Amino acid sequence: MTALPESVDTLIHAGWILPLAPATSVLENYSLAVGNGRILALLPRAEAAEVQARETFDLPGHVLLPGLVNAHGHAAMSLLRGYADDQPLLPWLQQHIWPAEAQHVGPEFVAVGVELAIAEMLRSGTTTFADMYFFPDVCARVVDANGIRCQLTFPVLDFPTAWARDADEYIRKGLALRDDVKHHQLMTVAFGPHAPYTVSPDNLAKVATLAAELDVPVQIHLHETRGEVQQAVEQHGARPLDSLHRLGLLGPRTQCVHMTELTAPEIALLAETGAHVVHCPQSNMKLASGACPVDELLAAGVNVALGTDGAASNNDLNLFGEMQSAALLAKLQSGDASALPAAQALSMATLGGARALGLEDQIGSLEPGKQADMIAVDLSGPETRPCTTRCRNWYTPAMAARSVTAG
């Protein structure tokens, strides 16, 4: 039997465990032991019978998974759910969302919106999320109170909002937040320059310099629509990805969100620089922004994560639905029914997200030594029957996911 302490904190007996490392393994009638918030061992149920635990969960009809990682969103925008539906991106932003934010967004709006978003995400299996929104200090307080893991991505823009006047103030406040939470076990901080069309090259260069000096991640909306790319070529003589590369903003710390309009050389550049892509299929479909070439990115060796984007452009924060949408969209886009199988979609929502956020040594798979961020998904309902021993239909969005523990 795997060497364990005489007593562990938690022992979970599950019908199946999908550890995600190795990616293809499905462990049937296994147990998982937790101590001090970390995974101690995965072992057959017969061996686990000899282990003493302070608390035990017996989940024979459930599959145990790593907690899902929502790698991009705007949590407080849950209060704008359904606002200005059926609009393309720029009119949606410029004529509806930005005016509404100017009128309503403040600390209380963010606190209530983030708490609502966290409740929705936890109920659908997300234990880690990346948030890019105003008043990230308020988001940090709500995250701390609710015990979820978060990358606080502070926004950087050229124009004033309720949170800051200009890029310098956004950066100053964001770095102050980084100092405040740098020892927090559940929070990290990242730069969030909104997009190349809202942040000047000079300010993007400033972000690139500071991010490199401080070893801080950068998340940015990029190549979201064909029109955005065309506008960049007209104004700056280069496609946005090339401009970011020239400014030193592409690298293993960079999280490129959306990426619907890509050429083969650009995909090769992403692979070469080690930059990550965050795919938000439902948001891209709702806004008719385009489709990220996920199959080509994965084939090139680019790490791809999944995000819901905000509830205003989705209209939910459910990563199970996002996995299904990503898988179906990849098949439709590529014309290949074998594109993005369920196991790969799950990997994008777990290990892929963990890698993008620089947390792959802590979360994203159920391995001894990692944080015990996990969910148990009930497969006993009619929506998931018949359930084969290979759990072939575990990714259906009809499954009820519930958080078992979050380290």
Please report the DSSP string for 307-374 in residue order.
----GGGTS---HHHHHHHHHHHHHHHHT-TTSS-HHHHHHIIIIIHHHHTT-TTTSSS--TTSB--E
Does residue 33 surpass a pLDDT of 80? yes
CATH top-level class of 7-67+365-405: mainly beta
The region of weakest confidence among 155-159, 226-230, 398-402 is 398-402
CA distance 261 to 258: 9
CA distance 65 to 27: 11
Q: What is the pLDDT of residue 321?
A: 96
- Listed in order, the ranges of the chain carrying CATH 2.30.40.10 are 7-67+365-405
In the block, which residue shows the tokens 């007996």? 13
Contact 14, 376 (CB under 8 A): yes
Q: What is the pLDDT of residue 388?
A: 63
Does residue 23 surpass a pLDDT of 90? no
Phi-psi region of 259 (alpha: psi -120 to 50; beta: other; left: phi over 0): left
Does residue 304 surpass a pLDDT of 80? yes
Contact 247, 218 (CB under 8 A): no
Contact 38, 2 (CB under 8 A): no
Q: What is the pLDDT of residue 60?
A: 92
- Kind and range of the H or E element at 9? strand 7-17
CA distance 184 to 194: 25
- Calculate the CA dihedral of residues 68, 84, 171, 208 and round it to 10 degrees: 70
- For residue 212, name the pLDDT band (cuts at 50, 70, 90): very high
* Structure token digits, residue 41: 């061992």
CA distance 202 to 208: 10
Percent of the chain predicted with pLDDT > 70? 94
Mean pLDDT of 249-274: 98
- Tell me which residue of 291, 274, 294 sits closest to 282, measured CA to CA: 291
Mean pLDDT of 145-172: 97
Between β-strands 304-306 and 38-44, what pairing exists: parallel, antiparallel or unpaired? unpaired
pTM of the model: 0.94
Residues in contact with 127: Cβ distance below 8 Å, sequence separation at least 6, in sequence order: 67, 68, 69, 148, 149, 363, 373, 374, 375, 403, 406
Q: What is the pLDDT of residue 398?
A: 38
Phi, psi of 43 (to 5 degrees): -145, 155
CA distance 13 to 319: 25
Mean pLDDT of 158-185: 97
Q: What is the pLDDT of residue 387?
A: 75
Q: Which residues of 55-75 are buried (b: 16+ CB within 10 A; e: fewer)?
A: eebebeebbbbbbbbbbbbbb
Residues in contact with 251: Cβ distance below 8 Å, sequence separation at least 6, in sequence order: 212, 273, 274, 275
Q: What is the pLDDT of residue 6?
A: 78
Thinking of the domain 68-356, which architecture would CATH place it in? Alpha-Beta Barrel (3.20)
Mean pLDDT of 377-399: 65
Does residue 395 surpass a pLDDT of 80? no
- 43-69 pLDDT, tens digit per residue, is 999 999 889 999 999 999 999 999 999
**Average pLDDT along the chain:** 93
- Tell me which residue of 296, 299, 297, 307 sits closest to 270, measured CA to CA: 297
- Tell me which residue of 76, 218, 84 sits closest to 136, measured CA to CA: 76
Mean pLDDT of 372-384: 92
- 80-118 pLDDT, tens digit per residue, is 999 989 998 889 999 999 999 999 999 999 999 999 999
Does residue 407 surpass a pLDDT of 70? no
What one-character-per-residue DSSP string does 70-127 give?
A: E-S--GGGGGGTTTT-S--HHHIIIIIIHHHHHHH-SHHHHHHHHHHHHHHHHHTTEE
CA distance 13 to 63: 10
CA distance 374 to 127: 7
- 355-368 pLDDT, tens digit per residue, is 999 999 999 999 99
Contact 197, 232 (CB under 8 A): yes
Does residue 222 surpass a pLDDT of 70? yes
The region of weakest confidence among 1-5, 59-63, 304-308, 325-329 is 1-5
Q: What is the pLDDT of residue 384?
A: 84
Q: What is the pLDDT of residue 4?
A: 84
- Calculate the CA dihedral of residues 46, 52, 53, 59 and round it to 10 degrees: 20
Does residue 24 surpass a pLDDT of 50? yes
Mean pLDDT of 106-131: 98
Mean pLDDT of 256-285: 98
Between β-strands 27-35 and 38-44, what pairing exists: parallel, antiparallel or unpaired? antiparallel
The residue that leads in pLDDT, 223 or 4, is 223
Mean pLDDT of 290-303: 97
Percent of the chain predicted with pLDDT > 90? 88
- For residue 397, name the pLDDT band (cuts at 50, 70, 90): very low
CA distance 382 to 126: 23
CA distance 352 to 373: 15
- Listed in order, the ranges of the chain carrying CATH 3.20.20.140 are 68-356
CA distance 74 to 53: 39
